[in-house]
Amino acid sequence: MIIRGAVLREMGLPQPYAESRPLRTEQVELAPPGPGELLVRVRAAGLCHSDLSVIDGSRPRVMPMLLGHEATGEVVRSEAPGFAPGDTVGFAFVPACGGCGPCAEGRAALCEPGAAANTAGTLLGGAQRLDGVHHHLGVSGFADHAVVSARSAVKIDPSLPPEIAALFGCAVMTGVGAVVNTARIQPGQSAVVFGLGGVGLAALLGAVLAGAHPIVAVDVVPEKLALATSLGATTAIDARPTESSAAPTAAPSEVSPNAAIPSGAGPSSGALNAAIPSGAGPSDDARTVTSQSEPASSAAAPRTAAPTAAAFDVVEAVREATAGGADYAFETVGSAAVLGQAYAATRRGGTTVTVGLPHPYQLLSIPAVSLVAEERTLKGSYLGSAVPSRDIPRYIALYRAGRLPVDRLLTSTVSLDGLNEAFDELAAGTSIRQVLVF
């Protein structure tokens, strides 16, 4: 059959994408599903930084490729047991073979054949159903139809709006899972989230769900910080540097901008400003710490410290907000520099969980002795350490119960022909989650 989809033929074209047009809507021949596969009519697909990182070349993939991995749709034809035409499915971007070492240990996100297929741009088992075009993470959801391995699909509640259902395949599963599966935060433990995109805000929702307290949110976009406080963050740290050279001032209870960096501290706050992508109403009891020099707009606004760019230290601000350092830090930016900040912001015995995917050439430097003398832990979380068949229905049930308001992450819906403009917004940091709808 002939489908319409967004094909990327060359990575690294310059911004704005509205002009360079890296994604082209093309007609592509899609072969029928083979054994163990499904033909799915795609209803919606989220725009994620994992897609953007292929477009800009920071995550090299085989070309050409039909992008999109965070998606949902309706089964049209099934060649796999357990699925039938009419089933509504969500997708996991790592197909789980069920037989490799990680799968046998219940770590489906680390499936070895699934990872190999994703690298090769094929479906699980090596099939390529798109004529002359590679699959993206086993899904290729930026098209009106897709053939996927049944191992990539999970049956979900058909009454869920598609633009919401799509979010559970990546942003929600990755962010919430990093908290509840990888970190396993306990009630009353403190948490800080660096980066408030879709995954970062989902991690914040996971921290609220787990009963973490306090919860600190760090970003450079005021609108995202405001949204974070409305979702449950107790402190929002605006990491933007100020252009003012005036001496910093702070209320006695606020951040001391000249405080010494603790042992094991990592990069300065400038790293966050450089790495976090450039999203409302804060709660009354939330507190905002900012490096901006402008005063609060009213007496009811959150209190504001005003250190200079050189003096303001994000790590110290987090440690102030968490009485000496967070129990858990979550880095969702995909920057080694920000990961260093997150690591430094934890207390002795604290744990840093990294979710973002930096460029393969980025290296992390931390004081090696801190792993022993301070018993700090640094660990990765891929796909939220999820078992998709278990976790996606569980998170949807929590959303239905009002305990996981992931609909608050949706910025807008877009059309297939508007994807390039939408990725400009994502790259600029002015959106959280945009969703392509068919």
CB 295 within 8 A of CB 251: no
CATH number at residue 250: 3.40.50.720
pLDDT for res 287 = 55
Comparing CA positions, the residue from 266, 277, 312 lying closest to residue 195 is 277
pLDDT for res 360 = 86
Q: Are residues 31 and 160 in the same domain?
A: yes
pLDDT for res 288 = 54
pLDDT for res 179 = 99
pLDDT for res 241 = 78
User: Does residue 187 lie within any of the structural domains?
Assistant: yes
- Point out which residues pair with 90 in neighbouring strands: 72, 154
User: Does residue 392 lie within any of the structural domains?
Assistant: no
Q: Are residues 243 and 107 in the same domain?
A: no
Which positions ≥6 away from 422 have C-beta within 8 Å? Answer: 47, 412, 414, 431, 434, 436
| Domain containing residue 83 | 2-169+405-437
Which positions ≥6 away from 10 have C-beta within 8 Å? Answer: 22, 63
Which positions ≥6 away from 213 have C-beta within 8 Å? Answer: 187, 188, 189, 190, 234
Comparing CA positions, the residue from 328, 384, 418 lying closest to residue 178 is 384
pLDDT for res 407 = 98
Q: How many other CB atoms sit within 10 Å of the CB of residue 104?
A: 10
> Positive or negative, the Cα torsion across 380, 332, 51, 172?
positive
Per-position DSSP letters for 49-112, written without gaps between them: HHHHHHHTTSS---SSEE---EEEEEEEEE-STT--TT-EEEE-SS---SSSHHHHTT-GGG-H
Average pLDDT per run of 10 along the chain, which is 438 residues long? 98 98 98 98 97 94 98 98 98 95 94 97 96 98 98 97 98 98 98 98 99 98 97 96 39 28 38 40 46 34 32 86 98 95 97 93 92 97 96 98 98 97 95 97
Q: Are residues 213 and 160 in the same domain?
A: no
pLDDT for res 256 = 29
Distance of CA 163 to the CA centre of its chain: 17
Domain count, the chain: 2
Q: Are residues 365 and 416 in the same domain?
A: no
